A = this chain, B = another copy of it.
Amino acid sequence: MNHFDWDHSFYVDFDLAAGFSEKAEPTRRYLSQMKDMYYDSAAAEKILKTEDPLIYEFYELGFPEREGDLAFGTTILYPGKVGNEYFMTKGHFHTKLATAEVYYTLSGEGCMVMENPEGDTLEMPLVKGQALYVPRRYAHRSVNTGKDPLVMFFTFQADAGHDYGTIETKGYHKMVVEKGGETAVVPNPKW
């Protein structure tokens, strides 16, 4: 239950390393909710036979989708793989396509995978102590390529909206995988 006063200011704690809040309630995404997003569906099914791992959690604070407001919070993306593909967030376009997002990495390491409707792709590192700019018109998904949780503080326009459907059909053009002990960005064979 997130009740914050967006009209008269409020503050909310986010641990500067682990990202967790004592005051706010997180939303959690488990493998079962996004198994079809991983390329190796057999590997996903095999994991789900014995457990349903938490892939990531984030705070969205119940922000009002109003012009001029900002949504913010942290995302905690856990380390792990499905087959050789690293744990990742669902990712989305903004419904108001030409709206940006800022990510400030508090701990861990990973990669932001982006693409616009024309199919131009961008991959940028997520590094502790670096802020990353997701430009307008780019769908964005974060990927944890490390051994520890990847923790990011994010901000976006509260009226941006989230479009998960477009990118769910075939997935992103690029995948981030472990290949011979190294992290590699490879084309998604579904495209």
Contact = CB atoms under 8 A, between A and B. Distances in A.
Interface of A: 4-16, 67-70, 72, 96, 98-102, 104, 106, 112, 114, 122, 124-125, 127-136, 138, 153, 155-158
A148 to B, nearest CB: 15
Given A5-B135, A9-B133, A11-B133, 20 more contacts: A4-B133, A6-B133, A7-B136, A9-B112, A10-B124, A10-B133, A11-B132, A12-B131, A12-B133, A13-B129, A14-B104, A14-B131, A68-B96, A68-B98, A68-B136, A70-B101, A70-B157, A72-B133, A104-B104, A153-B153
A125 B9 CA distance: 11
A125 B67 CA distance: 26
Given A8-B122, A157-B157, A13 B72 contact: no
A68 B100 contact: yes
A87 to B, nearest CB: 21
B156 A125 contact: no
A129 B11 CA distance: 10
Contact of A131 (B11, B132, B134): B11
A6 B130 CA distance: 16
Given A70-B100, A96-B68, A129 B6 contact: no
Contacts of A68: 96, 98-100, 136, 157
A8 B135 contact: yes
Nearest to A136: B68
